[in-house]
Every structure is written in C-alpha cells, then in structure tokens.
Structure 1
C-alpha cells in the first residue's frame, strides 16, 4: 500500500509541478504528517524532491526528473476496464485503483498530448452527484474489505461465505457460488448460485465476506448481460414480490431505495417523486411505507392503501383513548 502511495505522490508532483502538503494529503487521502514522512522516504531513496517555502510554496521534483513508474498493477488495469463509469469503479471497490491508474496513464503520455488531455478533461463531467432536479445519487455504504473479498472470490472462481442481511430479516451466513458482479444506477449486485438456484445479492447488504479455498461450482463462461436480463424477467414475474406505485418526498428517496428490492420507474410531478418500486412481499411493502409516514403515499395497489389506513386508525384509536 505504501509503495503505491509513493508512486502516486511522485506522479502527482510530475503532473502538477508543485503541490503543498495539504493538497497532497487530500489527493492521497492521508494526513499531512504521512505526506511529510513519504517525502522523507522518497528523498532517502534518491528521488530529487525538494521543498519551496513561502505562501505559494510546496513540494516539487527537480526539472527533467524521469523514472519508470507507469506499470499498471492488476487492480489498476481492472479499474480502467470499468472506467466508463467512475461510479462503477467505486461500487466495486476500485475507486483508489482507478485514481492511481489514471495518474500513470497521464504520466505515460508525451508532454504535448498531456497538455491536450488535461484541457479536454476539463470539458467533460461524468456522473455528477446530482441531476438537473438536484436529486442526489444514492451512495451505498460498501466497506472496501468486504467488496475486495467478494471480488477476489469472483475472479478466482472460489466459493464464498457471506453474512447477508435480506430486507426485513436478520442477517445470516450462507455459502454461494459467485458468478459475477453488476452495477446498476450506482448500486452493486453479486450474481451467484446457491444450492443450484440463481441468486442475486445487493453488495450493500453483505456485512462480511470470506473467500473459501474450494472451487466454485459454476459455468466456465458466462454472459452477464443475458444473465442479468433473465433474472430481471423472473424477478418481475414471480413469487410473492409486490410492485407498488407511490409518491415520495425527494428528501426521503434514499431511505426508500435502501429498503426496496428495485426501483422500476421514476419521474417527477409537483415536487413529488412518482415511483414504481418492488418489495419482497406484502408485509415488506406495508412496513416500508409506514416508516416514511406522511412523506410517502401508496397509490396502487388498493389493498396496500387500505392496510396503511387501518394501521393509522388503530394507532389513532390507541393514543386517543386516554384523552378527556
């Protein structure tokens, strides 16, 4: 980890010319004290880095310094393959690898191309945090250690133990045969098989993961696009799953999305979000809408409106009995 950070530090100085300790700490996501220690380590290793004092000072490399630092490691190469969506890299736990890889790519460019690329990059904005209606993208909590363990099992073709918390249920351990990883609307999913049946697990609901030494019982090759489409078709058509049309205040959208199985449609009307959302079953749908109180209204199906009304009446009756 430190070796990669030292490489990134040198590449940042090569790209920007001079940076303060604070700026380097922000780019590398470490403390300024760590940056100062890394600068000392680079100097001791013979890298000609020096400090410029004053208001606009910072650290810089001696002019003309060159070194072979651009070899990509496995995770960096993988990050570039998913760089078409920077959020995709974040979902799969490759955000830091992507940043490091891009520094190496820029450093490998001829000087004239480097200037052109930097200017062009300023004209592009990919996947901003909010859309034109100021709705923030849903950001899931994905511990790097958990995602890395899942990713390793997928690539190595090993079985995987996951501590999974399904909606409305207590977390439990289960052993699965990992097939692949999918990201949709900034949400990550693990496609797997369990006891011979296809299963799909939301990455944010995996609380812990352990790659096993046993080989996974899975096909040698897989068409993830087709597999995802087939699972989507079965998901919309089968079981006790419930589809609900509702309206929700934008401020509570993320809370709703975190508990729902899937968001099927979404549009805006009169300051509300009109959504069609899938829940695990009728009980799950009623529970989720009740949590949102008056910030959401179920529009269809009618039985859900009646269930929520009856629950509200029961609560009103209970708390109204003691009034005089």
Structure 2
C-alpha cells in the first residue's frame, strides 16, 4: 500500500508541479504527517523532491525529473488515455495501439500481479457487440488511414484537407482548421473552422483526408467540453427544426427525452397523460420519433404530422388486412 502511495505522490507532483502537504494529504486520503514521512522516504530513495517555503510554497520535483513506462510509444500512451471505453479507442483509430500498449503494460507487471490481472480481465466484458435481445450495436466505422491523418492534423495543429459527403450533397473537397475530436454514442465528430466559421464534420462521412504542412488557424488552448456544448446549443436552436404539440403516456416520457432535442411545457390531462411540446431536428426526425412511440403518444399539431402518421398506419393496416 505504501509503495503505491509513493508512486501516486510522485505522479501528483509530476502533474501539478507544486503541491502543499495539505493538498497531497487530501489527494492521497492520508494525514499530513504521513505525507511528510513519505516525502522523507522519497528523498532517501534518491527522488529529487524539495520543499519551498512561504505562502505559496509546497513540495515539488526538480525540473527535468520524469518517470516513464519503458516501451510505450506515443499512440500506445494515447490509446491508454482514452481507454475508458474500448470503442472510444477504436473510434479514434487507436484500437491496435491500445492492444499493443496493454500487452506492454501487462508485461511490465510483476509475475504474480500479471497472473491475477489476467484472471480478473477474463471476468469483465465491456461494450459487447450485441445487447440481451441479440440486437447488433453498430458503431460508425471509418478507414484507419483516414482517421490517422485527421488525428495527426489535430495534434500537430496543421490544416486538413478532407473529401466530405454532407447529407443530400455530392462529396466535395474542403480545407479546414481542425480543433479536436469528439465521440458521442459511437459517433465521432471533427470540430474545426473553415474560413473562420465553426464547422462540425462526422468522421464516417469523410471519404479521404490529407494533412497539410500549413499551420492551422486556431487558439493554442481549447476547452473541448465547452466548445462541444456551445455547438450543440446552436445546433438545437437552428436549421429545419420542428416543434410538436403532443400527448404521451407518462411511462414513455423518459424515452421521448432521449430522442427529442428539447421537451418542455409539461401539463397533465384528465386521463393522466402528459401534454407537452417537443422539438425535433427536422420533419423526418419528428415522424420517426412519434412512430416509435406507437399508441403511447399522439401528435396534436402540426396537422401535416398527424396526416403523415395516419397515412403510414393506414398503409400498414391495408397491407396486413389481406391474406398473404
């Protein structure tokens, strides 16, 4: 336990630069006295840790000191950082790097730990390809060489030339300034700017990509989480969105919330059903969502949506009304 704590202490100082004994104690969930004893043990073992006194003082490592896991290359280390989801690593084109990196990690373990870890790993299954109903969970795929070119341009800060097939449009070549990559429910998006305007591209629709030598026009630092939230908000309030006034069985309220862009203005009718407004991406999205809810929902407006759902139901009833 103490050996693990000493390693964690060194890694904390590596990551944060300087930390007080109180901050280290809080991170390691031990007393400040224990932290001071650990600092002495590290110094005795030759780790160049020193103390800085004063209001903003604390403990730090000498500049240039670093630790590394021997043998991990850049892509393998990157794969381990995004390995919270196996699909996440695969989505960014790092599946093979993840497997290679994990083999090196296992090889670096003491023999008794290696055996224990291998046995435990056999009892964990993450993100199987099908659910309990044998429905295949299909993730979007893209050629590894294309994903690699996109990823390298993002990290290097170079302009990127992509052959992109937008919905209902012929593929076109365009040059963009890449900002970052985001994966959402097995969909991967490239956040970029083009001629200074924000653009978001789905990776599965990029047919080819070429990293260019010119530097990208972008800030040195980015808050990718905030950037994604801002673009998502603009997406929800723009385009050909459709607002539907509807009634729904309360048991399906959560299902609707995971499908619609927004759900608001809840009221309860006399029969217990909810009357609300839901916003969808476009007409096709609205019709699909209401159809999935079947008799557990009723579109009240707009009238074209009621007509479309009625016509579809009539056609199906006609098809199955006759003998095969």
For 1:178, the equivalent position in structure 2 comes to: 178
Corresponding residue SS for 1:145: helix
Secondary structure of 1:183's partner?
strand
TM superposition score normalised by structure 2:
0.58
Give the structure 2 partner of residue 145 of structure 1: 145
Instruction: Report the Cα distance in structure 2 between the residues aligned to 1:132 and 1:122, rounded to whole angstroms.
Output: 20
Q: 2:93, 2:148 within 8 Å by CA — same for their partners in 1?
A: yes
Q: Distance in 2 between matches of 1:74 and 1:244?
A: 49
Query: What secondary structure sits across from 2:225 in the alignment?
Result: helix
Q: Does 1:165 align with 2:165?
A: yes
RMSD (CA atoms): 3.4
Give the conservation status (yes or no) of the 8 Å contact 1:162–1:175. Answer: yes
Shift in Å, 1:311: 8.6
Q: How does 1:32-71 map to 2 (within 5 A)?
A: 71=71
Q: Distance in 2 between matches of 1:118 and 1:110?
A: 12
Structure 1 residue matching 2:239: 3-state secondary structure: coil
Secondary structure of 1:167's aligned partner: coil
Question: Residues 264 and 90 from structure 1, CA distance in 2 versus in 1: closer, same or farther, beyond 3 angstroms?
Answer: farther
Q: Report the CA distance between 1:308 and its aligned residue.
A: 3.7
Contact 2:241 2:279 in 1 (8 A): no
CA contact (8 A) 1:182 1:191 kept: yes
CA displacement 1:68-108 (0-9 Å, x = unmatched) = x9601111111001001110011111101101111111111
Verify the 8 A CA contact 1:187 1:202 in the aligned structure 2: yes
Inter-partner Cα distance in structure 1 for 2:95 and 2:279: 29
Structure with larger Rg: 2
Query: Could you list the per-position Cα deviations for residues 181-232 of structure 1 after superposition, in whole angstroms to 9, with x for gaps in the alignment?
Result: 0111111110111121211111101111111111000010001111111111
Residue pair 2:164, 2:173 contacting (<8 A) in 1 also: yes
Q: Structure 1: any 5+ residue segments left out of the alignment?
A: 1-68, 247-261, 266-275, 316-324
Secondary structure at the counterpart of residue 162 of structure 1: strand
- How far has the Cα of 1:242 moved from its partner? 4.2
**Distance in 1 between residues matched to 2:235 and 2:131, nearest whole Å:** 28
CA contact 2:91–2:141 (8 Å) conserved in 1: no
> Alpha carbons of 1:224 and 1:295: their partners in 2 closer, same or farther (altered >3 Å)?
closer
Q: Who is 1:212 aligned against?
A: 212
C-alpha spacing 1:299/1:215, structure 2 compared with 1 (3 Å): farther
Q: Please give the per-residue CA displacement for 1:24-76, whole angstroms capped at 9, x wherever unaligned.
A: xxxxxxxxxxxxxxxxxxxxxxxxxxxxxxxxxxxxxxxxxxxxx96011111
C-alpha deviations, 1:250-269, integer Å up to 9, x for none?
xxxxxxxxxxxx9557xxxx
Residues of 2 paired with 1:211 and 1:299: CA distance? 50
TM-score w.r.t. the length of structure 1 is: 0.58
The aligned counterpart of 2:194 is: 194
Distance in structure 1 (CA, Å) of the matches to 2:293 and 2:163: 31
1:140–1:80: structure 2 CA closer, same or farther, 3 Å change rule? Answer: same
Task: Name the counterpart of 1:105.
Answer: 105
Looking at structure 1, the residues matched to 303 and 156 of structure 2 have their Cα atoms a distance apart, in angstroms, of 47
- Using the TM superposition, give the Cα deviation of residue 277 of structure 1 relative to its aligned residue in structure 2, in angstroms: 8.8
Structure-2 residue corresponding to 1:131:
131
Q: Distance in 2 between matches of 1:245 and 1:98?
A: 47
Separation (CA, whole Å) in 2 of partners of 1:76 and 1:115: 22
Whether the aligned pair in 2 keeps the contact of 1:263 and 1:277 (CA below 8 Å) is no
Provide, for residues 97-142 of structure 1, a one-character-per-residue CA deviation record: whole Å limited to 9, x for no partner. 1011111111111100001111221222222223345443232121
- CA 1:242/1:157 → structure 2, altered by over 3 Å: closer, same or farther? farther
